[in-house]
Amino acid sequence: MPRTSTTRLTFAVLATGAGVFSMLQSLIAPALPTVQHALHTSQSTATWVMTAYLLSASVFTPILGRVGDLIGKKRTLVAVLLAVLAGCLVAALAPNIGVLIVARVVQGIGGALFPLSFGIIRDEFDASQVPGSISNLSAVIAAGGGVGMVAAGPIVSALDYRWLFWFPVGIVAVTTLIALRYVPESPSRAAGSVNWSGAVLLSGWLVALLLPLSQASRWGWGSIRVVGLFAAAVVLFAAWLYAEARSRSPLIDLKVMRLPSVWTTNTAALLFGAGMYSIWSFLPGFVQTPASAGYGFGASVTASGLLMLPMLIAMFVSGVLSGRLEPVVGAKALLTAGAALGAVGCGILALWHDQQWQIALVAGIFGLGIGLAFASMANLIVGSVPPEQTGAATGMNANIRTIGGSIGAAVTSVLVTGHLQASGLPYGSGYTHGFALLAVLLLGAALAALLVPARRADRGGGTTVGTSEPALVKAEAEASAVAPGALN
């Protein structure tokens, strides 16, 4: 098969796999009440369908990204696709909530599709194609979450919640077969082996951090479980840093993570994730609230999904366009603009949310910001690290965005549900304060993006961040190892 055809087919496989995983993140959320009723469980237990997926993805994303760097990205990609396929099949057949939660843990392994896909693009595509391909893939990933929000209602209404998993079963099965046959194995391999002690410690502090963040509203912020897990997260994080610094084959190269272009991008990712995931979590609930509460529109799940349609369209369009804009304005400018658009959207939402068209307008503005930010973050990371670190570094960037989302959702939940009406519904002021906080967090993301160092790749006009010279990256890494204090 000609190289051009192989490249297109490879991109189609990567985009399909990553898009399905992204869709699975949001697809089940609007259907949780239906799942709770169908499987005869409690609301608190049903929320573990989301929590288990989040924790699993957070653990497996950086670890399997590193495994792909070591043993081969195609081999790891196929294994991850098979795991997602198995998880979707078990979820579609799950007889009870326990089996469904286990299936969601298995699906979470698919988080590694993001770093593996970015790594394969860097290894296999022509240098001139890398930034645009990463932008297009990022657009698909971002749009996948939007598709989940929009499609969940109609699928559940017309069929059954189990079809939320049956559809991905067929798509992922075909994708796996094509990947096995046509995706080339990347020649770039990292030296060393998997640092399993680092992997265990990384998993430990991620779970200890994300679990209380996702459950604190039910357990209580001052409960022994929450405080104890936060303390454990601090201890395990310190132990992980120590183990990684001393390892000859670290899971996450801390010298690379200290590079100015990496830590500033990751800071922006943390704050942007806080705003993005919170909007995805709370805006549908806002529009579904009965008007008798003094706000909201009493929209159905399907209707609330349609109000998110402008976000889906805008994030895909802006993600694709960013690949064409980046050689002109640079990834740093696009990340700053994306975060700023998100801040503007949340600011508008805090001030005006009485009409449905205002919600649709904000969804469109926010979607533009997501598309620009997703693509530029990926390109900044890929263009700033050595090829053998691509999987681990992009995996950690995705993880940091997820951590930010958990923090943002937890804090927003406190503001929204801290004071309830006699009916049990939140006051409108809670949402207003929550949206205002998200605007501040996204403004912080824009300020962090401004701190990203301007690279020669950005200023050259014709050269992009995705084609930065490995020698320059290695020199930066060596400088950070000699004088780490200079980067703090």
> What are the pLDDT digits (tens) for 445-476?
999 999 998 765 443 333 344 334 444 444 44
- pLDDT for res 191: 67
Q: What average pLDDT is seen over the chain?
A: 84
Name which of 304, 288, 221 is nearest 426 in CA terms. 288
- Kindly report, as residue ranges, where domains of CATH 1.20.1250.20 are found in the chain: 3-194+249-487
Q: What span, in angstroms and rounded, lies between the C-alpha atoms of 380 and 455?
A: 10
> What are the pLDDT digits (tens) for 368-406?
999 899 888 888 988 888 877 777 788 788 888 888 887
Mean pLDDT (whole number) for 331-349:
95
Q: What span, in angstroms and rounded, lies between the C-alpha atoms of 147 and 27?
A: 8
- pLDDT for res 455: 62
- pLDDT for res 337: 95
pLDDT band with cut points at 50, 70 and 90 for residue 5: low
Q: What's the chain's length in residues?
A: 488
Mean pLDDT (whole number) for 344-361:
93
Identify the helix (H) or strand (E) that includes residue 458.
helix 456-459
% of the chain beyond a pLDDT of 90: 30
**Which of 62-66, 291-295, 341-345 is predicted least confidently?**
62-66
> What are the pLDDT digits (tens) for 302-316?
888 888 889 889 988
pLDDT band with cut points at 50, 70 and 90 for residue 4: low
> What are the pLDDT digits (tens) for 93-106?
999 999 999 999 99
| Cβ burial 88-127 (10 Å sphere, 16+ → b, else e) | bbbbbebeebeebbebbbbbbbbbbbbbbbbbbbbbbbee
> What are the pLDDT digits (tens) for 177-216?
999 888 888 777 766 677 788 888 988 988 898 888 877 7
Q: What span, in angstroms and rounded, lies between the C-alpha atoms of 210 and 328?
A: 38
Mean pLDDT (whole number) for 423-450:
92
Residue with structure tokens 């989940």? 148
Residue 426 forms beta bridges with which residues? 420
Q: What span, in angstroms and rounded, lies between the C-alpha atoms of 418 and 30?
A: 22
Alpha helix (H) residue ranges in 383-423: 390-417
Q: What is the pTM of this model?
A: 0.79
Architecture of the domain spanning 3-194+249-487: Up-down Bundle (1.20)
Mean pLDDT (whole number) for 215-237:
89
SS3 (DSSP) at 394: helix
